[in-house]
Homo-oligomer: A and B are copies of this chain.
Amino acid sequence: MKHRIIPAIMSGGAGTRLWPTSTDAQPKQFHALTEARSLFAETVARVSGETDALSFAKPIVLCASRHKSWVEAQLTEIDASPSAIVYEPVARNTAAVAAVAAALSAEIDSDALVLLLPADHFIADREGFHATLARAAPLARERIVTLGIDPTRPETGYGYIKNGAALSDGVFAIDSFREKPKREVAEQYLAEGGYSWNAGIFFFHPRTMLEEFFANADIRDHALAALAAAHRNGREIHLDSEHFARARSMPFDIAVMEHTSKGAVAPCAVGWADVGAWDEIWRLATKDGRGNATHGEVVVLDGSNNLLRGEGVKVCVSGLNDLIVIATPEAVIVVPRDRAQDVKQLRELALKPR
């Protein structure tokens, strides 16, 4: 018997480090950054169809009200038909959204498992991803299983999860969550083994998950009140803004995972990336013989290992290496690949009213 899974796709990211492509009006998940289709479209495609062990139901999509037209257009483009699209009138981080997703999922099919995942990740190995879900599914009926990514480098930008006792083949209890570590600590985790990156992908039965909100029950209750009072129009669900605004803004990790005793982690190595900054886009991109990754109308006279992206703008470079050039008709950023993190601050300075 296959595990029935309702994917709940959270499409609320901002992507400020991917400016000027990613903007408030069209954030990163609605752009084609790593593949031919947008991150959102790839995510929807990744959790659809059937495998030997899994049967994906129509997804629930959760997004900001102002991104309605992007969601609709991109769903149409890939011919996907969600069972519900939940519009968030204000941003309230992932805890409140997760509660809505769980309650709505139980309403659609009370026996199905929920796979809660962000719309802006990249996963190279889709089969490995599905195999991890199949392995974790039995435990996901009782526990909240988080996918743990096998660390491939001493990354200081992610939280880590330390494995506890083995619960089943390849699934572990959670010993502890570890905040973004310093470099030396990250290196130690890597050397020691038994640590995963916390990717923010959760797999659970909705009843369990909603019960485990006990430490921050008010967030769940306001979120569910917003769902109960929502304006529904076919598959469209517009959350009630007064109720939803009352839900405290908190990540699901903090609100639930750090309190529950029912957490579990399923470590996996599936070519995951959170597509956070431009240097990562370069790492993930297909490159030419000189290591240049290009998008749009680009002319390279010479130079190597550059990320060059023109969106309706011709990008012309010569004699440069290891550079990031992103050009839109509104703004251009030029930074060395190892300074990709500076984009967030450049964006703030550029958009600051004068």
Interface size on A, residues (CB 8 A): 32
**A345 CB within 8 Å of chain B:** yes
| Nearest-CB residue, chain B, relative to A334 | B317
25 contacts between A and B (CB under 8 A): A299-B346, A299-B349, A301-B349, A313-B327, A313-B330, A313-B332, A314-B330, A316-B332, A316-B333, A316-B343, A316-B346, A316-B349, A317-B333, A318-B342, A319-B342, A320-B335, A320-B336, A323-B334, A325-B332, A325-B334, A327-B327, A327-B332, A329-B329, A332-B332, A334-B334
Interface residues in chain A, defined as those with a beta carbon under 8 Å from any beta carbon in chain B? 20, 297, 299, 301, 310, 313-320, 323, 325, 327, 329-336, 339, 342-343, 345-347, 349-350
Bound: A4/B13 CA distance, A: 70
| Nearest-CB residue, chain B, relative to A329 | B329
Q: Write out the residue numbers on chain B whose beta carbons fall within 8 Å of the beta carbon of A301.
A: 342, 345-346, 349
| Nearest-CB residue, chain B, relative to A339 | B319
Bound: A299/B346 CA distance, A: 7
Q: Write out the residue numbers on chain B whose beta carbons fall within 8 Å of the beta carbon of A336.
A: 318-320
What is the distance, in angstroms, from A260's C-beta to the closest C-beta of chain B?
41
What is the distance, in angstroms, from A294's C-beta to the closest C-beta of chain B?
13
The 3 lowest CB-CB distance pairs between A and B, nearest first, are: A314-B331, A316-B346, A318-B342
Q: Write out the residue numbers on chain B whose beta carbons fall within 8 Å of the beta carbon of A350.
A: 297, 299, 314, 316
